[in-house]
Structure 1
Amino acid sequence: MTNPEKTSTLALMAYSGPMIALSIVNMLLIAYLPNFYAAEIGVTIAVVGGIFMLARAFDAVIDPVIGNLSDRTRSRWGRRKPWIAFGIPAFMLMTWLFFQPPEGVGMTYLLVVALLFYVTYAIVIIPYISWGAEIYRDYEGRTKVNSLREGAGIFGTVIATLLPVILLPLMVEGQPGLRDILWLLALTIIVILAVTIPTALKIAPQGEFEPHPPLGLFSALSLMRSNKPLMRMLVAIFVIWLGGAFHNSTILFYVTKGLGLAESDFLWLVLTQYLMALISLPVWNKLANSIGRHRVLVIGAMGYFLAHQGFYFVGNDAFLGAVLVYAAAGFMTPVIWVMPPAIVADTVEYGMFKGGSDDAALYLALYAFVQKMALAMGVGLALALAGNLGFNPQAAITPQGIWALKLVTLILPGIIALAGCLLIWNYPITQKRHAIIRKWLARRAGGQHQ
């Protein structure tokens, strides 16, 4: 197992660096891209929702395949680094094509480019997240590495909100549109990846794993069926992220159409949210090591959805009211990103305790699978529901449209997520139990080597 004392802060920062760009990708996929193709490219909202749902579902199916192949990789550079080095050039190309489509494209372009984008994304992100699970294997260490990585991600989101506000007014006449924002941020993603990926591959440690004969995908999945904590957490994560996908799919429409704010105002709101997230991150990390990551996840997730109910009290000064709502939600935001992958990584050792193998990438791929399936279903269902209930982003807003947006953006997300939170309040793998499992594994490994 990796010795935490031998992993320097510089090495962890090098590992975390690529997440700055990857978080910008996630932000654009969730908050901007569906709206861009529906509002500016002219693809109907129902078709956009359907294509994004299909593409994310395809991506979710690809993730376990990539995870298993990464687990089976043996090289002098480890199990993860070769995949990242191989996949990053294609990923940067598809990022540009996806976020900057030529004029006049339609449904076919969106479908093909979305599918290719998600394949290259899986080749990079699954080995990358799994790499972090192997740098540290203890409870507090995993909290640390996940916090640094997701903290870099939050910093990336701050960059993504500041750059358009600062640079686009100097580059574009009038009010910048979604295409302008996506152009600037796609270029930013590519530049950051070109710098941080080589740095991470060179400086960050490979991490260590228990050697075992490589297993095929279905054999490895079969062994995981007895891992009940993993299955329980995956179901909970799916439900929580489904609620989040409902909210994120329509929040830009709610802010611009429902509150009457500009798209540039939305950038300031997101900036407020993630600045608060950076401030609150150390608080949540300390609390996680005190009461458990699963409890912190429940508190933060429900707090996040409850904070958005503040929109009901936003009065005439819509911008100030929205800032306060986003500040409250931002305080809760780190929990949703930091805790789930660390909790899932802990189930790797539990699976080994039950006779499984050290397949961290497949575990994290299953986490990504349920996360992306939730996002796929959330985008498709939320946009279709809003459209069927009377909201049309290409027409003047109506009271019926406002009601549809409130239902999909504010009411349903928290109700959906509550079920997932109830499922994991008494989650069995605590810090104490994880330490016992690791000690037992160490004794078993020592006995096998005698």
Structure 2
Amino acid sequence: MPVHKTDPKDVVPIGQKIAFGAGNLTNQLLPASLGVFMFFLVVGFGMSPYKAGILAAIPRFIDAVLDPIMGYISDNTRSKWGRRKPYIFGGAIVTGLAFILMWQLKIPIEGDNFETYNFIYFLVVSVLFYLGYTVFAAPLIGLGYEMTPDYNERTRLMAMSQIMGQIAWMIAPWFWFLISRPELFPNAPTGVRQLSIWVGLLCLVMGIMPAIFCKEIDQSNLQGQTKLSFKGIVTNLKGFFHDIKKTITNKPFLRLCGATFFVFNGFQIVAQFAFFIIIFYMYNGDQQAAGQWPAWFGTVSALATAILVIPFITYMSTKIGKRNAFIVSTVISIFGYSLKWWGFHPGNPWLLFMPIPLMSFGIGGLFTLMMSMTADVCDYDELKNGMPRKEALFGAVYWWMVKLGTSLALFLSGVILSSVGFDQNAKAQAPATITALRIADIIVPSVAGLLAIIVMWGYNISEKRAKEIREELVKRRGDL
């Protein structure tokens, strides 16, 4: 396979790569933290599971609906600060502050019922949080797609971004441990309230870094943008749906979405199974005996992804191409999933870490390569459909699909737990239940990975093809 040397002018400076990665750290730390904090909304603040489910569903629905709209707005914005930076900067501030405020709930006191107050307060502030999150995230993804036009440099940029994003998943599993420590906080609600301040401020500071230090595409060559205004809302809506149609009928992009859907959701469906297997198989339901092993399992997985998998996949993609690198990494992850049968060993918890380096090739390869390939697809779309470029819209639709798939994955996860006979009220589970759960833990992500390989087999934007597309675009409108 031909491998060209990246033109120096197309190399993203290391400072900009780190700044963009800082934005992705915020983008990853927010959902990672929410996953922990929502647990304490029920067990700490006394919110009923039913109401907690409503609080989780409504803001996320709003976020999913607004994602493509925000992508369209960003793509069609013209300002002296750029199409992305104003939204990233303002969105990061709103999101960070709203995250802090969202968790300043009233602590339940015996005899007083603050559930209704907390419900209304959390719902209102969480809607604000997700509005800010959408304003921040959609332009951030679009910015990453346009920071370099080079086929391989795009992968290196996304690799740095994903490495920094993995930091979120290294530290988030320990939040529940810190919050529950009596020597740190008098009670769990106080721990949530105080820890949220540090998380929100960190996300705010990291989130504005791309707006300050990263470089956008030259707007002088951009054409075909819709003039955004309240008076022209009908025209804007027509333009929005017109661009959406072009996005969702882009065949290479649909392959990326389909492969992501299978790999990511195969992983998501069984993500919590490791926790159950460690506790109920390795430690026969004794959570105290299981200790920190579940947290270490998550942290080491993220660490292996960051320092081993992503750098190797980045190197591999420059040698055999992005599609082939994805297929190889997915095959390796399937082999890793199969090793979980021996890794979860009641007599030796250290074997937990045996399958992790191979399993991590699944998620580690997925987003590093898919984000890079989506940037290539944006060039293909411009070649096929002309201006305006739709980086943020492609990114928003892609992540909308991921969010939709996550909801489905969480539902299917519950279906599997129920179908194997898992009893949430029992301290120990039946041997047949544990065996069925262990089999599902291997089979589900493995089959999903094979389906993803089938979907990606026909993906045809190779390095050679990407170079041809770029050359044609340069002829049309000047240097990219």
TM-score of the pair, normalised by structure 2: 0.80
Shift of 1:186: 3.5
Shift of 1:52: 4.8
Number of aligned pairs?
443
* 1:92 and 2:96 correspond: yes
Residues 116/446 of structure 1: CA separation in 2 closer, same or farther (3 Å cut): closer
* 1:147 and 2:179 correspond: no
Residue among 51, 76, 80 paired with 1:76: 80
Residue among 6, 10, 21 paired with 1:16: 21
**CA RMSD of superposed structures (Å):** 3.5
User: Please, which moves more after superposition, 81-90 or 259-268?
Assistant: 259-268
1:127-276 superposed matches below 5 A: 127-160=139-172, 172-173=182-183, 186-208=196-218, 210-215=221-226, 216-260=239-283, 262=290, 264-276=292-304
* Unaligned stretches of 5+ residues in structure 2: 1-6, 109-114, 227-238
Structure with greater Cα Rg: 2
1:26-425 superposed matches below 5 A: 26-29=31-34, 32=36, 36=40, 52=56, 56-96=60-100, 102-103=106-107, 105=115, 116-160=128-172, 172-173=182-183, 186-208=196-218, 210-215=221-226, 216-260=239-283, 262=290, 264-280=292-308, 281-313=310-342, 314-330=344-360, 332-357=362-387, 358-387=389-418, 389-399=420-430, 402-403=434-435, 405-406=437-438, 409-425=441-457
Residues 275/45 of structure 1: CA separation in 2 closer, same or farther (3 Å cut): same
| Counterpart amino acid of residue 340 in structure 1 | M
Q: Is the 8 A contact 1:243 1:416 kept in 2?
A: yes
Aligned mates of 1:244, 1:99 — CA distance in 2: 29
Shift of 1:401: 5.1
* Unaligned stretches of 5+ residues in structure 1: none
Residues 82/256 of structure 1: CA separation in 2 closer, same or farther (3 Å cut): farther
Give secondary structure in 2 for the equivalent of 1:396: coil
Residues 56/410 of structure 1: CA separation in 2 closer, same or farther (3 Å cut): farther
Q: Deviations over 1:120-146 (max 9, x none)?
A: 322211111111111112211111111
Q: Deviations over 1:323-348 (max 9, x none)?
A: 22334323554212211111112111
User: Please, which moves more after superposition, 281-290 or 224-233?
Assistant: 224-233
Shift of 1:46: 8.3
Residues 172/199 of structure 1: CA separation in 2 closer, same or farther (3 Å cut): same
| Counterpart amino acid of residue 225 in structure 2 | P
Shift of 1:367: 0.9
| Counterpart amino acid of residue 193 in structure 1 | C
| Counterpart amino acid of residue 368 in structure 2 | V
Aligned mates of 1:229, 1:446 — CA distance in 2: 25
Aligned mates of 2:476, 2:33 — CA distance in 1: 46
Shift of 1:65: 0.8
Aligned mates of 1:184, 1:292 — CA distance in 2: 46
Residue in 2 aligned with 1:432?
464
- Name the structure with the higher helix share: 1
Of all paired residues, the percent bearing the same amino acid is 22
Q: Is the 8 A contact 2:32 2:168 kept in 1?
A: no
